[in-house]
Structure 1
Amino acid sequence: MDTHRAGLYPDVAAPGGLVAAMKEAARLRGCDIGPVSPTPDGVAIETARGYVSVDPAVEERLFRMGIRIPGYDWAIGSTDDLGLLVEAVAAWRQGMSFDELEGGFQFLELDEFTRALESGEPTSSQWSDLLSTDFYRRQWNLLRRFHADETLRCFFPTVSHGAVRLQVDRLDGVSRQVLVAELEGERYEVVRVGEPGATWVEVPSADLIACLRAFLTEQ
C-alpha cells in the first residue's frame, strides 16, 4: 500500500493488507465472514447471495461494498468504519433480510438494489447478455427455446462447461437448479444440481420443457 493510502488506512496497512485486516476485524467482533480473496481493487467474499466486494477508495478513507452476480454488479453502500463494514458483510453472508440489513447498517442503500431484484432486472439482463454474446453461440438454440417459455425465462441462466444452468434464486448459489446439455439428434441430458444422488438423465426433445418446469417448480 502506497504512503498516501497507508495514511488513510493504517488499520489495513499494519496487518499487511485488506484481507488480513478484515479477518482480524472479524475475529475481534466474533463475526464469520468466510474466506476472503484478494482482487485487483480490494477483496471478494463468496456467499450464497452472490460475491460481496469491498474496495477501498483512493482519495478518501471509504470502504465501498458491492454485490456481484453473473453479468451484474451493484454498489450498495460505503463506510469509513472497517469494523462496521465487517459486521455488515457477516450479516449479508448469514442471510439477514434486506430490511434488517438496511435497518441495522445505516450506510447500506438497498432500495434500488431490492427493486431491481424484484423487477427481475438482473435476470433479464443476464438473458440478454447470453443471447447476444458470440461466445455462447453454441448454446443459443437452447437458450432461445428456454427464454421463449414464460416459466423458464423467469429463472436465472448461466452457461457452465457448455451446459445451460437455470437457477431459481439468482442470489442463492444452492437454490434449486438444473443443468442441461445438448446432445446430437434432438437429445438432451439433464441433471438436478445439488440433489442427493443426482445423475445425468437423457430427456427427449418433446419432454424437455415440461421436465425442466417440473424440476424447478415442484413443491
Structure 2
Amino acid sequence: MNTLGEDLYPDVTASGGLASAMREAAELRGCDIGLAPWATDAVSIQTARGFLRVDTATGERLFRLRVHIPGFTWEIGSTGDLGLLVEAVAAWREGVPLEELAERFEFMDLDEFTRALESGEPTSSQWSDLLSSDFHRRQWNLLRRLRADEVLRDMFPTITHGAVRLRVEALDGTSRQVLVYEPDEERYEVIRPGAPGADWVEVPTDDLIAYLRAALNEE
C-alpha cells in the first residue's frame, strides 16, 4: 500500500522518467530493450511480436507490461522490479520462446496470449471487426473477396488510408505484406511495402487473388 506522499518510484523520479529509468536499468544489466532515444514516459517498444507497452500502477509499485497489435491488447504481467522488467523486455525482443519466457520470468502470465495465438484469434477476430465496422463500409466488398480465399483469410488485415493491408504475421509489423486499394468498383491497385522499387501496380480483377498470394509468399 502507498503511504500518502510516499514516492513509489524513486528510481524513476531520479532518472527523470520511466523511459530514462528503463534505459539505465538495461545498461546496468547489458540488455538491449530497443527503446527509441526520443521516448520519455510513453514507453512503447516495437518488436517482432507486437508492441510492448510499459506503464506504472498507482497505489503500489508495479511496472505493468502489455503487448499490443491493432485491435488487441494483452496484459502479460507486472512486477515491482525494474531490473527484472527490462530483462524480460530484452528477452521478448530477442525472440525467446513464450514457454521459456514464462519459466524465466515468473511474473509473466502468457497463458491467454499463447492460447489466442494458437487459435488464430487475433486474425479471425480482426476480419470480423473490420467487416462489422460501418467506418470501413467502403472496404467491405474487397474484404469479403479477400477473406473468401483460403490462403488470404489467414493473413492479418488492417485498413491504412482506405487500403486493405494484409500481413503474413499478425504480430510482426515488418513481415511480408501487401496493400490493396480499390479506387473504383472492381479496379484494384496493389503495392508491396518494403520491396525494392515498390510502387502501386494496377492488377486485373481476375488476377487479384493469385497476384496477392504470390506477393505474400515471396521470400
TM-score in same-fold range (> 0.5): yes
Q: Check the 8 A contact 1:50/1:67 in 2, yes or no.
A: yes
Q: CA deviation at 1:65?
A: 0.6
1:132 corresponds in structure 2 to 132
Q: Residues 38-60 of structure 1: CA distance to partner in whole angstroms, max 9, x if unpaired?
A: 56xx5221222211011211121
The ranges of structure 1 where at least 4 consecutive aligned residues each deviate by more than 3 angstroms after the TM superposition are: 3-6, 36-39
RMSD across aligned positions (CA): 2.0
2:150 corresponds in structure 1 to 150
Unaligned runs of 5+ in 1: none
1:53 corresponds in structure 2 to 53
2:179 corresponds in structure 1 to 179
Q: CA deviation at 1:200?
A: 1.8
User: Is residue 2:73 matched to residue 1:80?
Assistant: no
Q: Check the 8 A contact 2:43/2:54 in 1, yes or no.
A: yes
Matches within 5 A, 1:20-59: 20-36=20-36, 37-38=39-40, 43-59=43-59
Would the alpha carbon gap of residues 52 and 69 (structure 1) be closer, same or farther in structure 2, given more than 3 Å must change? same
Residue type of the alignment partner of 1:131:
L
SS in 1 for 2:192: strand
Counterpart-to-counterpart distance in 1, 2:152 and 2:128 = 14
Counterpart-to-counterpart distance in 1, 2:4 and 2:198 = 53
Would the alpha carbon gap of residues 61 and 213 (structure 1) be closer, same or farther in structure 2, given more than 3 Å must change? same
Would the alpha carbon gap of residues 209 and 21 (structure 1) be closer, same or farther in structure 2, given more than 3 Å must change? same
User: Is residue 2:164 matched to residue 1:168?
Assistant: no
Q: CA deviation at 1:6?
A: 5.6
SS in 1 for 2:195: coil
Matches within 5 A, 1:92-111: 92-111=92-111
Residue type of the alignment partner of 1:92:
W
Q: Check the 8 A contact 1:168/1:176 in 2, yes or no.
A: yes
Using the aligned pairs only, state the percent identity. Answer: 67
Q: CA deviation at 1:97?
A: 1.8
Q: CA deviation at 1:5?
A: 7.5
Number of corresponding residues: 216
Counterpart-to-counterpart distance in 2, 1:143 and 1:181 = 11
Moved more, 183-192 or 173-182: 183-192
2:204 corresponds in structure 1 to 204
TM-score when scaled to structure 2?
0.91
SS in 1 for 2:181: strand
Unaligned runs of 5+ in 2: none
SS in 1 for 2:20: helix
